[in-house]
Amino acid sequence: MKTVYLDNNATTSVAPEALDAMLPFLRQRYGNPSSMHAFGGLVARDLQRAREQAAALIGADPSEILFTSCGTESDSTAIRSALEVNPGRRHIVTTRVEHPAVLTLCQWLGDHGYKVTELPVDGNGMLDLAEVERAVKADTAIVSVMWANNETGVLFPVERIAEMCRERGILFHTDAVQAVGKIPMDMRRNRIDMLSFSGHKLHAPKGVAVLYVRRGTRFAPFLIGGHQEHGRRAGTENVASIVALGRACELAAQGLEAENTRVRALRDRLEAELLRRIPDARLNGHPRARLPNTTNLSFEFVEGEAILLHLDQAGICASSGSACTSGSLEPSHVLRAMGVPFTFAHGSVRLSLSRYSTDADVDAVLAALPPIIERLRAISPFSRTRMPSAARLAPDPAHKH
β-pair partners for 370: none
If binding is defined by CB under 8 A, does position 379 make contact with other proteins? yes
Long-range Cβ contacts of 331-334 (<8 Å, 24+ apart): 331/304, 332/151, 333/96, 333/97, 333/103, 334/97, 334/125, 334/149, 334/151, 334/152
If binding is defined by CB under 8 A, does position 371 make contact with other proteins? no
Out of 13, 48, 254, 313, point to the residue binding other proteins (CB under 8 A). Answer: 313
Furthest-apart CA atoms within the chain: distance in Å: 76
Distance (Å, whole) CA 56 – CA 325 = 37
* Residue 191 CB burial class (10 angstroms; 0-12, 13-18, ≥19): middle
How many residues lie near other proteins (CB under 8 A)? 34
If binding is defined by CB under 8 A, does position 111 make contact with other proteins? no
If binding is defined by CB under 8 A, does position 33 make contact with other proteins? no
Specify the stretch interacting with other proteins by CB under 8 A; choose among 156-164, 187-195, 209-217, 389-397: 389-397
β-pair partners for 119: 95
Out of 205, 246, 321, 331, point to the residue binding other proteins (CB under 8 A). Answer: 331
If binding is defined by CB under 8 A, does position 299 make contact with other proteins? no
Out of 322, 348, 352, 357, point to the residue binding other proteins (CB under 8 A). Answer: 322
Specify the stretch interacting with other proteins by CB under 8 A; choose among 27-35, 113-121, 169-177, 377-385: 377-385
Reduced to 3 states, what is the DSSP secondary structure of residue 287?
A: coil
Out of 242, 381, 384, 385, point to the residue binding other proteins (CB under 8 A). Answer: 381
165 catalytically annotated: no
If binding is defined by CB under 8 A, does position 396 make contact with other proteins? yes
x/- mask, other proteins, residues 215-244, rule CB under 8 A, reads: ------------------------------
Range list of H helices, 5-137 = 16-26, 38-41, 43-58, 71-85, 100-110, 129-135
Is residue 239 within 8 A of residue 248, CB to CB? The reply is no
165, 249, 317, 324: the catalytic one is 324
If binding is defined by CB under 8 A, does position 392 make contact with other proteins? yes
Distance (Å, whole) CA 322 – CA 320 = 5
Pairing type for strands 294-299 and 348-352 reads: antiparallel
Out of 224, 265, 309, 367, point to the residue binding other proteins (CB under 8 A). Answer: 309
If binding is defined by CB under 8 A, does position 104 make contact with other proteins? no
Reduced to 3 states, what is the DSSP secondary structure of residue 103?
A: helix
If binding is defined by CB under 8 A, does position 367 make contact with other proteins? no
Out of 26, 42, 367, 394, point to the residue binding other proteins (CB under 8 A). Answer: 394
Could you tell me the smallest distance in angstroms from the CB atom of residue 308 to other proteins? 9
Backbone dihedral region of 229: left (phi > 0), alpha (psi from -120 to 50 degrees) or beta?
left
Other Cβ atoms closer than 10 A to 104: 12
Q: By C-beta, is 196 or 284 nearer to other proteins? A: 284
If binding is defined by CB under 8 A, does position 136 make contact with other proteins? no
Distance (Å, whole) CA 294 – CA 285 = 10
Out of 179, 192, 306, 362, point to the residue binding other proteins (CB under 8 A). Answer: 306
Q: By C-beta, is 241 or 284 nearer to other proteins? A: 284
Contacts of 347 (CB under 8 A, 6+ apart): 298, 299, 300, 301, 302, 303, 304, 307, 322
If binding is defined by CB under 8 A, does position 3 make contact with other proteins? no
Q: By C-beta, is 88 or 381 nearer to other proteins? A: 381
H/E segment holding residue 5: strand 4-5
Q: By C-beta, is 37 or 399 nearer to other proteins? A: 399
Contacts of 228 (CB under 8 A, 6+ apart): 34, 234, 235, 236, 237
If binding is defined by CB under 8 A, does position 382 make contact with other proteins? yes
Q: By C-beta, is 85 or 116 nearer to other proteins? A: 116
Q: What's phi and psi for 297, nearest 5 deg?
A: -115, 145
Out of 323, 356, 363, 366, point to the residue binding other proteins (CB under 8 A). Answer: 323
Find how far residue 337's CA is from the centre of its chain: 17
Could you tell me the smallest distance in angstroms from the CB atom of residue 292 to other proteins? 28
Residues engaged in binding other proteins (CB under 8 A): 301-306, 309-310, 313, 322-325, 328-331, 342-343, 346, 378-382, 388, 391-396, 399, 401
**Residues designated as active site:** 324
